[in-house]
Amino acid sequence: MKNQKAIFWILQITVWSLYFVYNVNISFDVFLSKFKEVVFLYSFLYAYFGIPLTVVLRLVFVWLKKQSISNWIFVISVFAVVFIAANIWTIEVYFLDRIFESDDLKMSPLNLKFYIWEVFRDFLVLLAWSAFYLLTKLWYEWQSEKEKAEKALLLAERSQLLMLRHQLNPHFLFNTLSSLRALIRENREKAEYMLSKISDFLRYSLASKKDIEVPFSEELAAIKNYFEIEKVRYGENLDISYEIDPLSEDYPVLCFLMHPIIENAIKFGMDTSNMPLKVVVKAEVFDNKLVLQILNTGKWVDSTANENQKGTGNGLIIVQQRLKHFYPAHHKFTIRKEDGWVGVIIEIINKSYK
């Protein structure tokens, strides 16, 4: 931001200085050298009045960008504002002419033809400045978005590696494979079903690396696979339910966004809840806003405050960082603790989603 302001003022001074030199040369051709001092002062005031005028234009453009208007309305507004500024500049030129006018130095008369020509000329100058400023601003915004996207991609990859580390750790695999081995002896059909769930979950874990966002239906399928695996471990002690709005299934979400929250819900819920542990996954859409809720019975445990607690200590931090990078001004992250239930609520606003 500081660099942008510095560049803005450097360009301002440079551009209007060049315009000053241009006006001096034009004025010398008209008024000859005997009016040298007058020409310099007149040209200086005429050219450098563009600085405060364009500073005001810049503030107006920034204000227009913040309004919820279409691109066409924005362009029309720019032309209108530049036209008003050109009229102000022309009026300023008229007063300069009257100040510097003398018996020896006759300035341009005030008539309709002169006024229209001055407004037209000043309009072109200010329009050129406005186009250059807006294009430069657009380039900076594009660069900023590109940097944010690159940071978000790095964060997504880091998050995925963390998720894979937790999901594929020896403790998880040992318990899962032990339960699967027991099922093979007792119920081969159920064991095959369980093996397919493990396979589907691991496939999503590995294949989703190329995708930053996925439809919520894919994330939900991976969540259900994960719960099926955990059900083998905990049996009747784990009660899972879903309340899914059909409209939410096509809504784009960050890949592996909910997994750290679900892992915490099971791991800490098993320590603090009466059995069975109840976990509820909710998803609904209101006015292009996706609301995700992961609720479980038990008490809230701050996994980052106690190193002795098991679980994904950085899980919630990673989730919040990803939301901040991908949806900087369009998300809300809330932790709920009430009536023997704890939960995490994520709200995502996607203006392009319909």
Residue pLDDT, tens place only, 19-69:
777 766 665 555 545 556 666 676 777 776 777 888 888 888 888 888 878
Show the tokens assigned to 93. 């030129």
- Angstrom distance (rounded) from CA 101 to CA 109: 10
| pLDDT value of residue 27 | 59
| pLDDT value of residue 241 | 95
- For residue 96, give every residue at least 6 positions away whose Cβ sits within 8 Å of its Cβ, in sequence order, or none: 42, 45, 46
How much is the average pLDDT of 87-97?
77
| pLDDT value of residue 1 | 52
Inside any domain, residue 22: yes
Residue pLDDT, tens place only, 300-338:
877 555 544 444 456 688 788 778 877 888 899 999 998
Q: What is the pTM of this model?
A: 0.50
- Residue 62 structural domain: 2-145
Inside any domain, residue 159: no
Inside any domain, residue 156: no
What does residue 155 show for φ and ψ, rounded to 5 degrees?
-65, -40
Asked whether residue 247 falls in the same domain as residue 322, the answer is yes
How many domains does the chain contain in total?
A: 2
| CA dihedral (304, 306, 307, 308) positive or negative | negative
Q: For residue 113, what are the β-bridge partners?
A: none
* Confidence at 254, pLDDT banded by 50, 70, 90: confident
Which DSSP string do the residues of 39-60 spell out, in sequence order? Answer: HHHHHHHHHHTHHHHHHHHHHH
| pLDDT value of residue 105 | 55
Inside any domain, residue 42: yes
| pLDDT value of residue 281 | 96
Length of the chain in terms of residues written: 354
pLDDT at residue 150 above 90? Answer: no
**CATH code of residue 314:** 3.30.565.10
